[in-house]
Amino acid sequence: MKNFSTVGARLGFAALFCTLTGGAAQALECTFRADAPDQHTVLAGDTLWGIAGKFLDRPWCWPQVWGMNREQIRDPHWIYPGQVVYLDRASGQLRLGRRLGGAGEPAALRLSPRVRTEGLGQDAVQSIPSGVIEPFLTQPLIVEGDELAAAPRVVATQEGHVFLGKDDKAYVRGDLKGGTSFQVFRPGKPLKDPVSQAVIGTEAFYLGTLKLRQEARPGSEVHTFVVASAKEEMGVGDQLMAAPPTPMRNYVPHPPEQKVTARVVAVYGGVTHAGQNQVVSINRGKLDGLDIGAVLQLYHAGKTVVDPGASKGWHGMGKPQVKLPDEEVGSLFIFRVFKHISYGLIMQVTEPVEVGDVAQSPE
């Protein structure tokens, strides 16, 4: 293992980050691990996050050390098993190549990962473990604002059926807005902002999908649907949401384009604590500057305590209170964004994440 200095790399990454964000955000320090290897051969099952974690203290910094600009970050960005990631210690960057035979260095190195705009190849290495978030990519799960009141609903089922199964008919009332494919959901508990206590959305239970068979005829308000898939029992009163477009299956991690400070609203599954590879929702979304692939740092919110050694507060009303600093506990990868709420996958964590914890732009 070669020894190297990270000072130059720090400065290079800081300048590069300003370029990536148009100079609008504060430069971030992105350093190599002290035990970073000289190279890593990409294996089936690797993730870009995991590969980057072998080289970098903060794995999500890898777009910076690839030397990617903002447009490249927005595009699909793939590498494949059999390629070799090299640490170029002189320039402070990672480079990608493929062995041409023998145990030596390759005769030529590609200086950036392969970019494909037509979609992800089945053998391409993914950014993060996709199996954990797969259900969250296509199911509604969160309904915001007036979407709940305006959503079409099942008003009757096929005769003799209390619950609907695959290929059963369902009769729906409401404005379809030209849609033909819908997801069926049942409203769950309201989601409250941990700070304001205002309801910012409703957790929804995904039940299945419906396909339009016959739009309501003149003089009728009822559309005829057929159940295309049933994950759970569905029936009268359940509501419809237009099926989302096919989601991206790969993401490039990056800091938010503007400073974001959020709180953890809920841990998926109804529990109060979450660990690595668990999903949480936060009280910030696309209208707050978040997009798919944004990375936030997670902190336990500092508690407010009484200073026992201080003099009494104003008007003799007891000892003054002070707020302890927030303690960093991990990182959060944003993979689905609604207007005011987002879903994130906990990537690294040193302590369990709790409802009310802080999620903010990296520093």
Rounded Cα distance between 284 and 263, Å, is: 8
Residue 132 counted as domain residue: no
CB-CB neighbours of 148 under 10 Å: 16
Give the end of a domain, one of 242, 274, 295. Answer: 242
Q: Is 25 exposed, middle or buried (0-12, 13-18, 19+ CB in 10 A)?
A: middle
Residue 253 counted as domain residue: no
User: Nearest 5°: CA angle at 35, between 30 and 40?
Assistant: 85
What domain range is 302 assigned to?
A: 261-360
Rounded Cα distance between 224 and 220, Å, is: 11
Residue 1 counted as domain residue: no
- Averaged pLDDT for residues 37-64: 85
pTM of the entire structure?
Answer: 0.72
Rounded Cα distance between 316 and 304, Å, is: 19
User: Do residues 145 and 119 both lie within one domain?
Assistant: no
Judge whether residue 69 has pLDDT over 50: yes
pLDDT of 11: 30
- Residue reference for tokens 């404005």: 175
pLDDT of 314: 52
The CATH number that applies at residue 274 is 2.40.10.410
User: Do residues 11 and 117 both lie within one domain?
Assistant: yes
Rounded Cα distance between 231 and 312, Å, is: 61
User: Do residues 117 and 170 both lie within one domain?
Assistant: no
Judge whether residue 282 has pLDDT over 50: yes
Judge whether residue 343 has pLDDT over 90: yes
Q: Tell me which H or E stretch contains 134.
A: helix 130-138
User: Do residues 12 and 67 both lie within one domain?
Assistant: yes
In three-state secondary structure terms, 136 is helix
Lowest mean pLDDT among 170-184, 206-220, 235-249: 235-249
Rounded Cα distance between 263 and 247, Å, is: 25
CB-CB neighbours of 97 under 10 Å: 17
Higher pLDDT, 79 or 154: 154
Question: pLDDT tens, 110-136?
Answer: 434 444 433 445 677 777 777 778 778
Task: Please spell the DSSP secondary structure of 93-121, one letter per residue.
Answer: EEEEEE--SSSS--S-EESS-B--SS---
